[in-house]
């Protein structure tokens, strides 16, 4: 789907109809085609280029109401975005001319842009807190807290996630290669919390211990896995940005030695070399 020709959404509800094409392999961007009066909403800093007939307006919050909501509603929307690691502002791109016009947005990291038509997944998608890239106007961005105590205390990246609501197209950015799994009722899947990219609300998310003491100390993994139980869809990313940034920081500190950055062994090596 990501490399298919122009896709079209015929929504009869809130979100604008948009056409789009996703281009590239490891460094992708999405090109959205708008009819007169249609709008796309994008994360701050995602813009690449646009036709001159498309106006660009920065709005407070997620832009889902096209600026028509109350001040308190906008404030609440902006607060939700801040909690999920996004900017207080989004940018709305509206086609003011005639005919067709295009605007493009790019992911800031190597990986995959996943197009999801929300009405086909029940109207809601839960994803990592920095995943939102762009959407048709009408998609709202909220917060998905994990309610279980253990998940809240030790869930890491999976504790506070984004919740995207609406019925139109939304484009989310995933790190590395993307895998989609369709879980049957009762089927379980264990995923590193950072590699869990997105899932549908029908999937149950909690934590399971990664193994014994030896695995925790020297295995280079975290204390817990995300346990996902079907039914529903799950998307897994092979290279979450936090992992990429951690490897880059470790290489900068230690010249690239591989001592098991995620385990106590890496910290022990830093201590012996006097880096702490």
Please give the residue that has the higher pLDDT: either 205 or 156.
205
In which domain, by residue range, is 30 found?
6-62+84-249
Choose between 271 and 161: higher pLDDT.
161
pLDDT of residue 78 exceeding 80: no
Residue 34 in any domain: the answer is yes
| Closest-CA residue to 174 (of 236, 96, 252, 126) | 236
Q: Number of folded domains in the chain?
A: 1
Q: Tell me the range of 105-114, 131-140, 183-192, 221-230 where mean pLDDT is highest.
A: 183-192
50: helix, strand or coil: strand
- Per-residue pLDDT tens digits for 187-204: 999 998 888 999 999 999
Q: Quick check: is 73 in a domain? A: no
Where residue 42 sits, what CATH number does that domain have? 3.60.160.10
How far CA 227 is from CA of 120, 121, 155, in Å, comes to 24, 20, 11
Strands of the sheet with 188-191, listed across from one edge = 188-191, 224-229, 204-209
Question: Considering the domain boundaries, does residue 102 fall inside one?
Answer: yes
Q: What is the mean pLDDT of the chain?
A: 75
| Interatomic CA distance for residues 207 and 198, integer angstroms | 16
268 assigned to some structural domain: no
In a domain, residue 202? The reply is: yes
Tokens of 68: 């028509």
Q: Please check whether residue 77 lies inside any domain of the structure.
A: no
Structure token pair of residue 161: 């996630």
Question: Is residue 74 assigned to a domain?
Answer: no
Quote the distance between the C-alpha of residue 128 and its chain's center.
5
What is the distance between the alpha carbons of residues 196 and 198, in angstroms, rounded to a whole number?
6
Does any domain span residue 32? yes
Looking from the CA of 269 toward its CB, the CA atoms found within 13 Å total 16
Query: Would you place residue 66 in the very low, low, confident or very high pLDDT band (cuts 50, 70, 90)?
Result: very low
List, in sequence order, every residue forming a beta bridge with 189; answer none if it has no partner. 228
For residue 231, cis peptide bond before it (omega within 30 degrees of 0)? yes
In angstroms, the CA 43 to CA 24 distance is: 20
Q: What is the pLDDT of residues 121-149, one digit of tens each?
A: 999 999 988 888 999 888 888 887 665 54
Provide the β-strand partners of residue 205: 228
């Amino acid at each position: 789907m990501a490399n298919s020709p122009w896709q079209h959404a015929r929504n009869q509800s809130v979100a604008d109809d948009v056409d789009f094409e996703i281009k590239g392999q490891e460094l992708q961007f999405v090109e959205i085609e708008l009819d007169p009066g249609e709008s796309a909403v994008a994360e701050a800093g995602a813009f690449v280029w646009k036709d001159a007939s498309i106006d660009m307006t920065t709005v407070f919050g997620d832009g889902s109401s096209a600026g028509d909501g109350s001040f308190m509603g906008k404030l609440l929307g902006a607060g939700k975005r801040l909690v999920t690691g996004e900017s207080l502002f989004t940018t709305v791109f509206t086609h003011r001319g005639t005919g067709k016009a295009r605007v493009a947005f790019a992911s800031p990291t190597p990986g995959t842009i996943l197009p999801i038509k929300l009405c086909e997944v029940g109207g809601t998608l839960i994803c990592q807190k920095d995943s939102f890239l762009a959407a048709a106007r009408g998609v709202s961005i909220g917060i998905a807290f994990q309610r279980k105590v253990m998940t809240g205390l030790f869930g890491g990246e999976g504790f506070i996630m984004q919740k995207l609501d609406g019925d139109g197209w939304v484009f989310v950015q995933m790190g590395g290669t993307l895998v989609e799994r369709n879980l049957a009722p009762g089927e379980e899947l264990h995923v590193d919390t950072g590699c869990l990219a997105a899932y549908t609300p029908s999937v149950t998310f909690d934590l399971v211990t990664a193994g014994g003491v030896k695995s925790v100390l020297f295995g280079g993994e975290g204390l817990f896995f995300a346990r996902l139980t079907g039914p529903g869809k799950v998307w897994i990313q092979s290279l979450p940005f936090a992992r990429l940034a951690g490897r880059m920081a470790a290489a900068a500190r230690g010249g690239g030695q591989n001592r098991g950055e995620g385990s106590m062994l890496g910290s022990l090596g830093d201590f012996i070399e006097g880096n702490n």
